[in-house]
Amino acid sequence: MPTAVAAPANRVASILSELGITSQQSGVSTGSTWLKGDGEMLASYSPVDGALMGTVRASSKSEYDKAIGVAQEAFVQWRQWPAPKRGEVVRQFGEELRKHKAGLGKLVSYEMGKSYQEGLGEVQEMIDICDFAVGLSRQLHGLTMHSERPEHRMYEQWHPLGVVGIISAFNFPVAVWAWNTALAWVSGDVCVWKPSEKTPLCGVACQMIAAEVFKRNNVPEGVCVLVNGGREVGEWLAADARIPLVSATGSTRMGKAVGRVVGERLGRSLLELGGNNAIIVSEKADLDMALRAALFGAVGTAGQRCTTTRRLIIHDSVYDAMKQKLVKAYAQLRIGDPLDEKNHVGPLIDRDAVALYTKALDAAKAQGATIAVEGGVLNGEGRESGCYVKPAIVEAKPDIHIVQEETFAPILYLLRYSGDVADAITIQNGVKQGLSSSIMTTDMREAERFLSTAGSDCGIANVNIGTSGAEIGGAFGGEKETGGGRESGSDAWKAYMRRQTNTINYGSSLPLAQGIKFDV
């Protein structure tokens, strides 16, 4: 863990060299082979200090087609490996991630802007999903069923799909890829990854770590493919009939475009899109606990998580007390270099994100909201990138337009409710997104109503914890405009496989189902 902040130039070299990355990289790899194509160069600038970290060559269409071809050939071999043997490879990948946790966590923090502790946490998520997948490799179970026909046996089994396309977002530049690949690999699939063009070096680092493990185990070239590039690479993946499943993480607008194109060719899409997450603070809440949940939920990753707490729905009777606690806590937040562990909040990803943040605050004022904690752009020494902003708190009504939208920035809206918890649940559910939700209460009845059929309509519903910080063991995803996808734990592995029903006749006659007679 770092004890001091290095000078920018030295810092870039130190972070990259720790992972074996150079300042100029090919961004297309089929495993241990890096293609030397003629795609455009993607520049990676750190939002921490504005330093140019390096350039990555994006894929051309011809390189993309070549990489997909290699992946198809690899699938023919990889699917024949016993699942526990595939799991052993994933286990070794997890072990390699443990060795590189500090270096990769530092790269995530510096290229994306989240705190170093959060960067380490993201790599830990990768390790955790590898552990989960190793156990899963011996539990890819089907079902057996009784046949209505004598001397017949029925069962169902699961087979790998083939080439899985993965489009990931900048805010979790490595973990979401691992969520998908670890499960897909043990299922027998091969993966083609398009990282965010805003964090291409994180993709390069992960590919290098995986390639070393795969080479050591004689895994076919093409099981792990990296295809860097901009929007056009995502469009190629979505339209490619050779790819039966496309898993895409990002904005609702992007997800709708991907889902439409994949659906037109009758492929499958796994979508993890926007969130407009709320915590309900009941009159029976432990306010100190609610404060801790709301604080990290609202300002962690500078508000750039899909599970960020964006709305705090507070009962009238405790509204003023909760507001005072929040205002006092926000005054103590330290904003600055995320590799300096004294700081709580790092930068937004780029100046475009800063512009959206400023626009949202202006819109809130124009729509009648009141600013409880002023926002604003921070400049000065150590903030030359222009990407640092102050987390803001806005008092608003739940139905104004800006509250209904997701702004990927640290803006927390305080909303009042009166009456019982049903009123708060109505406010919470009254948005287009349905990812994560929480209630803070010491009343068992309120908690159970929140979790009931008439309660939260989100894919994730929590009691007395915040909206962010999901664990690997549970399926992750949401409803409505969040896309309906599920990743990570539980039975999310089924998304990466195809179901097959089998009927075996071990008798000497051929009776038909439903008692149909067809004698000739």
Residue with tokens 């205002």: 327
Q: Choose, from 130, 202, 306, 387, the residue flagged as catalytic.
A: 306
Which residues have CB under 8 Å from 264's CB, separation 6+? none
What is the Cα–Cα distance from 254 to 351, expressed in whole angstroms? 20
Q: How much is the mean pLDDT over the chain?
A: 96
**Mean pLDDT over residues 364-387, rounded?**
95
Is the separation of the CB atoms in 148 and 503 below 8 Å? no
| Residue 4: predicted pLDDT | 41
pLDDT at 461 over 50: yes
Average pLDDT of 7-33? 90
DSSP label at residue 34 = B
pLDDT digits (tens, 9 = 90+) for 99-145: 999 999 999 999 999 999 999 999 999 999 999 999 999 999 999 99
Q: Residue 8: its pLDDT value, please? A: 67
2 confidence band (pLDDT: 50, 70, 90): very low
Distance CA 297, CA 258 (A): 28
Residue that wins the pLDDT comparison between 151 and 37? 151
What digits encode the pLDDT tens for the residues 156-206? 999 999 999 999 999 999 999 999 999 999 999 999 999 999 999 999 999
- pLDDT of residue 3 exceeding 70: no
Type and span of the H or E element at 185: helix 175-187
Active site residue 272: yes
Select which of 272, 446, 481, 487 is catalytic. Answer: 272
Closest CA to 467 of 312, 240, 287, 342: 312
pLDDT higher than 70, residue 344: yes
> What is the share, in percent, of the chain residues with pLDDT greater than 70?
98
Give yes or no for a contact between 56 and 228, defined as CB atoms under 8 angstroms apart. yes
Mean pLDDT of 86-108: 98
Find the mean pLDDT for residues 265-288: 98
Nearest to 112 by CA among 305, 358, 389: 305
Q: What percent of the chain has pLDDT over 90?
A: 94
DSSP for residue 305: S
Block residue for tokens 């057996």: 144
Residue 418 CB neighbours (<10 A): 11
Of 6-15, 252-261, 352-361, the one with minimum mean pLDDT is 6-15
- Please report the pLDDT score of residue 167 as a whole number: 98
Q: Provide the 10 A C-beta neighbour count for residue 327.
A: 12
Q: Specify whether 446 is catalytic.
A: no
What does the CA dihedral 315, 318, 322, 323 come to, rounded to 10 degrees?
80
Whether the CB-CB separation of 312 and 412 falls below 8 Å is answered with yes
**Is the confidence at residue 5, as pLDDT, over 80?**
no
- Lowest mean per-residue pLDDT among 282-296, 372-386, 476-490: 372-386
Res. 396: pLDDT tops 70: yes
Q: Determine which helix (DSSP H) or strand (DSSP E) holds 324, and give its type and residue range.
A: helix 316-331
SS3 content of the chain, % helix, strand, coil (to 5): 40, 20, 40
Q: Cβ–Cβ contacts within 10 Å for residue 370, how many?
A: 11
The rounded distance, in Å, linking the Cα atoms of 74 and 62 is 19
Whole-number pLDDT of residue 39: 86
pLDDT of residue 361: 98
Q: pLDDT digits over 227-244, tens only?
A: 999 999 999 999 999 999
Cβ contacts of 434 within 8 Å, gap of 6 or more: 457, 458, 459, 478, 479, 480, 481, 482
Could you tell me the CA-to-CA distances from 134 to 44, 89, 237, 303 in Å, in that order? 34, 9, 28, 33
pLDDT tens digits for range 43-57: 999 999 999 999 999
Q: Looking at residue 7, what is its pLDDT?
A: 55
pLDDT at 520: 82
